[in-house]
Amino acid sequence: MVDILILIAAVAAVFFILKIAFKVLKTVLLLGVAALVVYYLMEYGFLQGIF
């Protein structure tokens, strides 16, 4: 019985860790895409008037 409880707790812990990791990964990817867009805009001269 204790083994089943430990197994359930481990699965729940992995689930929550993956959920948090997915949120972090999504944030990092969004920041990366935003940085890439700004880089391309600067590279092709769209932001020359601002900077």
In sequence order, what DSSP letters do the residues of 4-45 get, joined into one string?
A: HHHHHHHHHHHHHHHHHHHHHHHHHHHHHHHHHHHHHHHHTT
Note down the domain range covering 36. Answer: 19-51
Predicted confidence (pLDDT) at residue 46 exceeds the cutoff of 80: no
DSSP 3: H
pLDDT tens for residues 13-24?
999 999 999 999
CA distances from 5 to 8, 15, 29 (A): 5, 15, 36
Predicted confidence (pLDDT) at residue 9 exceeds the cutoff of 90: yes
The answer to whether the CB of 2 falls within 8 A of the CB of 8 is: no
**Confidence at 44, pLDDT banded by 50, 70, 90:** confident
Any domain includes 47: yes
Structure pTM? Answer: 0.58
Any domain includes 3: no
Any domain includes 6: no
- What's the domain count of the chain? 1
